C-alpha cells in the first residue's frame, strides 16, 4: 500500500516507471473486468489500454478519499459499459443469434453438459447472458470480492439497489443454471 502511494505520487510528477508499476499491478484486474463486461478479448484489451490512458491523463483528479483500486475500477467499469453500449447497438443482431445458438446447446441432456463443461464454465455462460451492468456487478462482488459499498461507488447506484440486484441476479443465475444443467444441478448443490 505504501509503495502504491509512492507510485501514484511519482506518476503524478511524470515518472513513467512509477506509472508502469501501477499498470503492472492492476493490468490483469482491469482486463478481467473489461472482459467480463465485453466478452471479447480484443475489445477488452482495447478498453484496458483506454482505461490506463484515462488514468494517466486524470491521475491528478484522484483525491485519495477512496482506495486507488476503487477509483481505477470505477473508470474501468464505466469505460467497459460505455463500450458495451456502443458495441451492443452495432451487434444486436449477432448477439441475438449467439444467444439462440447457446439456448439450443442448453437443451442437451444435463449429464452430457456436466461431463462436457464444468460448473464454473456453466456459470460463466450464464453470466455472459446477463446485461453488461449486471454481469459487472456479479463479477465485482463474487469474483473480485468487492464490498456492496465499493460496487455502489463504482456503478453510481445505491447500496440498496446493489443488494437488490445481487439478490435478483442470484435467482436469475440459479434459474439459468438449472435450465442448463437440469437435474444435475440439484445433485451438485
For position 93, what pLDDT does the model report? 43
Q: Where are the domains of the chain?
A: 1-91, 108-189
pLDDT of residue 140: 85
- C-alpha separations of 27 from 44, 49, 106, 111 in Å: 11, 9, 34, 38
CATH class of 1-91: mainly alpha
Cell triple for 7: 507510485
Q: Does the predicted model carry a pTM greater than 0.95?
A: no
Parts of the chain with a pLDDT under 70 = 88-120, 182-189
d(Cα 31, Cα 36) in Å, to the nearest integer?
Answer: 9
pLDDT at 111: 52
Dihedral of CA 144/49/82/41: which sign? Answer: negative
Domain spanning 108-189, CATH class: mainly alpha
Amino acid at each position: 500500500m505504501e509503495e502504491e502511494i509512492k507510485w501514484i505520487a511519482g506518476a503524478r510528477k511524470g515518472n513513467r516507471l512509477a506509472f508502469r508499476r501501477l499498470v503492472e499491478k492492476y493490468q490483469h484486474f482491469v482486463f478481467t473486468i473489461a472482459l467480463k463486461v465485453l466478452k471479447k478479448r480484443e475489445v477488452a484489451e482495447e478498453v484496458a489500454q483506454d482505461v490506463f490512458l484515462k488514468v494517466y491523463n486524470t491521475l491528478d483528479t484522484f483525491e485519495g478519499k477512496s482506495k486507488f483500486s476503487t477509483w481505477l475500477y470505477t473508470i474501468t467499469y464505466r469505460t467497459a459499459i460505455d463500450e458495451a453500449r456502443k458495441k451492443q447497438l452495432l451487434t444486436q443482431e449477432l448477439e441475438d443469434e449467439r444467444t439462440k445458438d447457446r439456448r439450443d446447446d442448453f437443451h442437451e441432456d444435463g449429464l452430457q453438459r456436466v461431463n462436457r463443461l464444468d460448473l464454473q464454465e456453466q456459470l460463466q455462460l450464464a453470466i455472459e447472458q446477463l446485461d453488461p451492468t449486471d454481469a459487472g456487478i456479479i463479477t465485482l462482488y463474487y469474483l473480485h470480492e468487492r464490498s456492496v459499498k465499493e460496487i455502489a461507488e463504482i456503478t453510481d447506484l445505491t447500496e440498496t439497489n446493489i443488494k437488490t440486484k445481487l439478490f435478483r441476479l442470484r435467482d436469475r443465475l440459479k434459474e439459468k443454471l438449472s435450465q442448463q444443467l437440469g437435474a444435475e444441478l440439484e445433485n451438485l448443490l
